[in-house]
Amino acid sequence: MMSARFLTVVLERAFNMRDGFGREIDYMRISVIDSCNLNCYYCNPCDNNEHCHALNILSVKEVLCIVRAATRLGIKHFRLTGGEPLLHPQLDEMVLQIKKISGVSSVSLTTNAVLLAQHAKWLKEAGIDSINVSLDTIDASEYERITKKPLLEEVKHGINAAIECGIRVKINVVLTPQTDVVALTRYVAKKGTDIRFIEMMPVGEGHTNGVEPYKKVIGTLSKLYGEPCRINTEKTKEINSGNDKRKIPDNGPAEYYIFPELGIRVGLIQAIHGKFCDTCNRIRVTADGRLMPCLGSSVTMDLVPDSCEFTDDLEKDFVIVQALKAAIKAKPGCHNFNDNAVTYTKTTETKTTEIKTTELKAAEVNAARNMSRIGG
C-alpha cells in the first residue's frame, strides 16, 4: 500500500496533461445519467428507449471524485450531459459542489430543456456558467416527429427561464435534410443567443441522413443576411455575442460566423466535413463510469478497477488520476467511424487487457451504437 505522504506529493503535482499528439486536454464531459425523457430518432433509431429508464447513474460523490482527480491533471472545464442530465435527482447540488473544487474554471450543462424551467433558478444560484439546449425545430408537429413527445412549449419555457435568470444559453441543432435553418436562426436571434448546427455523425441514422453543414447553413443564411465573416476562435478565446456582453471562454470545436445583418454568432460543428481533431481538447466519462478517449472511437476504459478497495479518498484520487492519464495517452489522433471492431479495455489492479468483439463491418458497428448511451 502506498503511503499517504507519497500520494500527497504525487497528487499535488498538478500539470497540464497532453495526449500522445501534443494536444492539451483541459475539458471533460461527464454523462451523469443515461436515460432521457425524449426519444429522438437519431439517438434511438430502433425505438429502444421508449420508457426512458436509467440503466446507469453517477452519484454526486462519484462525480466529485472524478472532477477532483481531473483537476489534478489540469482539466478545468466540465460539461454535464446525459441522457438528459436534469433527470438526475441531485443535479443542482452536483453543480454547486463541483464549483467549490479548486481548479475548476467552468461548469456547463447540455439539456433538452424540457425540465429547465423548474431548475433554471437553482442552477443559476449553484453557479452554472452556461447551458446548451438541444432544439432541432420550432415547429410543434416536427418536434413531436423527431422526439416522439409533444413538449415543444415546455422547451421554450425552459429557454426563456434560463435567459431571464441571466444564464448564458446556446442552442444546438442536429442538422438533417429537414432542418429549417432560417426559422431556427430567426427564433434564436430574437433571444440574443448563439446557435450551433451540428453535423450528424455516421452513427445509426447518421449513415443515411447526413447533411453537408456549410452549404446548408452558411449558404442559406448568406442569401438573407449577407456574406459572413468567420471568427478566429484560436486567437479570440473570449467572444461577446448577442445580448450577452460578458466575456465567456469558448471551449468547444465549433467554427463561428458573424453575418452583417444578424446580431448573433452562428456556429458549425462538423465531425466529418470539417474534422476538428487536431485541436480536440476533451475526454468523456460515461454514466456507467467508463472513460472514452474519443467519441468517434469504440475504445473505452475503466475509470476505477473493479477489485480496488480504498482506505481513503486520497488513494482513490491517485487511482483515478492514473486511469485518466492512461485514457488521455490512448486518445487517437483523429476520430474514425470506420472502426471494424469494438474494443473494451478492462483494468484490474495488476493488468490491463483488451477484449475485441467479433469483427463487424463498420456500418453494422455504427448503426448499433446508441448516442443516448455514450454521453454525446
Q: What is the pLDDT of residues 107-139, one digit of tens each?
A: 999 999 999 999 999 999 999 999 999 999 999
Strand-pair partners of 353: 346
Which domains occur in the chain, in start order? 4-278 (3.20.20.70)
Whole-number pLDDT of residue 347: 41
Question: What pLDDT, in 10s, does the model give residues 233-245?
Answer: 654 444 445 445 4
Q: Out of 1-5, 210-214, 326-330, 340-344, give the one with best mean pLDDT.
A: 326-330
Q: Which one has a higher pLDDT value, 298 or 231?
A: 231
Four-point Cα dihedral 83, 87, 89, 93, nearest 10: 80
User: In terms of DSSP H, where are the helices of the chain?
Assistant: 4-11, 60-71, 91-99, 116-126, 140-147, 152-164, 181-191, 206-209, 213, 219-225, 313-329, 362-368
Read off the pLDDT band of 41 (50, 70, 90): confident
Q: What is the pTM of this model?
A: 0.84
Q: Whose CA is closest to 237, among 227, 250, 255, 224?
A: 250
Phi then psi for residue 333, to 5 deg, are: -65, -30
Please give the average per-residue pLDDT across 259-285, as a whole number.
Answer: 86
Give the model confidence (pLDDT) of 154-175 as tens digits.
999 999 999 999 999 999 999 9
pLDDT tier for residue 317 given thresholds of 50, 70 and 90:
confident
Mean pLDDT of 61-79: 94
For the record, the C-alpha cell of 172 comes out as 444546438
Query: What does 231-258 look like in DSSP terms, one character per residue?
Result: E-TTT--EEEETTEEEEEE--SS-EEEE
Cell numbers found for residue 143: 418536434
Under a CB-based contact definition with an 8 Å cutoff, are residues 143 and 169 in contact? no
Please give the DSSP secondary-structure letter assigned to residue 357: P
